[in-house]
Structure 1
Amino acid sequence: MRDQPLTWALIAGVFLFINAPSVKIFTVQGPYINVLAFGLIGGVFTLRLTRGSYELTDRQGIAAGMIGVAFVLIVVPEYLGIRTGTTASIDNVVSLLLILGTTLALLGVTRRSEIRLYLAFQVVWAAFVSATLLLGVADPRGHDVYHYNTVSVPIALGLCVVIGYLVHPTVTLARWQRFGLIGAPAIGLPALVSQHGRSAYVGLFGATVLAVILISLTRSRELAVRTLVRATAALGIGIGALLVLIRLGFVSRLFVDRMTSLFTDITSLGRFELYATTVERILSTPLGHGLGAFDQISVHSYPHNLFLHAAFAGGVIAGVLFFAGVSILVVEYLYAFFETPTAPVLALGLISAYLLFTFSISYSITHTYMVFTALAMAAGLSSKGRILDLRPLTDRLYHLGLPGTKQ
Structure 2
Amino acid sequence: MASVVRLLAGSSLVPPAKSRLRGRSALCCRASLRGVGSNSTSTTTSDQRQLVSSIDELTLGRVDVDPIAGADDRVVITTGDDGAAEVEKLQAATDRAQMHDIIGRQRDNWNHLLLHSTNSLALAACAMAALAPASTSLLALKASAGALLASAAVTMAAVNRIQPSQLAEEQRNATWLWRQLERDVRATLALSGASSSVTNGDFFQEAMDRVLALDAAYPLPLLPGMLEKFPDIVEPTRWWPEKNPARRSASCNTTRHGARRVSVAGDNGWTLELEEEMRGIARVLKAKDEQEYLSFGKAVLTLNRGLAVAGPALAGTAVIAAAFIGSGDTGTSWASGAAVLCGALAAAVNTVEHGGQVGMVFELCRNVTGLYRKIQDDIEDNLEEANLRRRENGELFETKVALQLGRSPSDLRQFKGMASPSFRDEDIRNFDGELF
Q: TM-score, normalised by structure 2?
A: 0.25
More helix, by proportion:
1
Higher RCO (CA < 8 A, seq sep 6+): 1
Q: TM-score, normalised by structure 1?
A: 0.26
